[in-house]
Amino acid sequence: MEKDPCVVLATERYGSAESWKYLAKDGVMERRRDGAEGKSRGNSVVGVFKSVFLPQGYPESVSDDYLQYQFWDTVQAFSSSLSGTLATQASLKGVGVGNQEATVAAATVTWLLRDGTGMLGRILFAWRKGNKLDSEAKKWRLFADGLNDIAMFMEILAPYFPAFFTLIVCTAGVFKSIVGVAGGATRAALTVHQARRDNMADISAKDGSQETLVNLAGLLVSLILIPLVTDNPVLTLSLFFLFTLLHLFANYKAVRSVVMETLNEARLSIMLQQYLSGKQILSPLQANQREPVFFEFGKTVPVRLGVRLQEVVQSPDELNLALKENNMPYLLGVRNGCVCVCLGPEASVHDEIRAMCQAVWLSGMLSRPASKEPKQKSPWEMVHESHKLMDGIFNPFLKGIEAAGWDVKRTLLNWDEWRVEWKTKSH
């Protein structure tokens, strides 16, 4: 059989999804799909779906964990939508829908009180915890979804306690407002992580489209559920617990699938401990798999970054102790059961990482039971020891984590805004 005399003039591709070539044949330029001819129609349907619900340039334009995270996020959104339907029905019943003795005014007052307390809760939570949502996005995301389930459970139970109905729905409203702040902020933090071409707006918009589609599916299923659960509290609670278990499991899998390349306190602590114990540098995937996604209380001495000078030293002698063995633009000290770090204005991102490494090491040493230490050292002796340790290991450690794929140009360490200039040690 004679070969096609066509000459390839040019090729083009649309991301990794499509590939085309331009051919010269009998003086005419012809455009053909590169690959099997039969794929064209099937791919057009898939292509439309991708263009509607996935960011432009997928999968190259997003992080590697995007698809797995979005799958579990879709599952949790669907189950949350069904749980929300049950809670909404209970709330409407509680304010008097279907009850001829209920007044519009009473129902309106209850609704306004719920919304008002929710607004106050939103402001207070953003004030107290807003600066922590970036550095611990996974924990707060999981916390928000768990709190949302608790709020919906309270709304379902509220009609059975008419004397406390307003109090219960107002408390649930506060919880939901906290969920709104924590969930929205952590979603934004995850979007920044997923964006690989400064396409945060596109990813956020497509995430909204996915959520809308899921809510539409949940609405259709809810139309079937509502007649079944009306005036049937046993079935209502049974379905709610089923959807809640699915919701929490899907959320856990979603946050576990996220692989962040930026360092926060938990990931840096895991990396440093592994390096000190065996000179091993963990990849972002390995460290993220070990990162805790639940809040832990009282296990280690807390670390406070970017504090005022008086939280580290309170006398000229203590300042001299903080400067001993220290030629870095930060000061470390132990005060009131916390490891405190005071940062100078000229400190770089690498200095911040080193300061955090020292603080994490100090926290680990101070958290050890006293019985395991052959000789109890003073806090300042341990601070001086940490400086010597970092002088020996930090540069190879930093080069190793950078080579392993970690982003060391920025961090998610929770630094406060205090910056201090101090005079050198007096002689």
103 and 248 share one domain: yes
Q: In the structure, what pLDDT confidence band is assigned to residue 72 with cuts at 50, 70 and 90?
A: very high
Residue 115: inside a domain: yes
Same domain (yes/no): 222, 355: no
Provide mean pLDDT across the span 307-336. 92
Residue 2 lies in a domain: no
Query: Which CATH number do you get for residue 82?
Result: 1.20.1250
| 206 lies in some domain | yes
Does a structural domain hold residue 370? yes
Residues 107 and 243 in one domain: yes
Whole-model pTM: value is: 0.85
Enclosing domain of residue 162: 66-257
In a domain, 61, yes or no: no
Q: 73 with 169, same domain? A: yes
119-148 per-position pLDDT tens digit:
999 999 999 998 889 899 999 999 999 999
Query: Do 358 and 225 belong together in one domain?
Result: no
Same domain for 141 and 230? yes
Do 209 and 274 have their domain in common?
no
Residues 290, 190 share a domain: no
pLDDT at 163: 87
DSSP secondary structure letter of residue 48: H
Residues 31 and 70 in one domain: no
Query: Is there a single domain that holds both residue 227 and residue 364?
Result: no
User: Nearest-CA neighbor of 267 among 408, 393, 375?
Assistant: 408
Does the pLDDT of residue 341 top 60, yes or no? Answer: yes
| 284-295: burial string, b at 16+ Cβ within 10 Å, e else | bebbbeebebee
- Tell whether 417 is covered by a domain: no
Q: How many domains does the chain have?
A: 3
Query: What's the Cα-to-Cα distance from 319 to each of 28, 224, 328, rounded to whole Å?
Result: 82, 70, 14
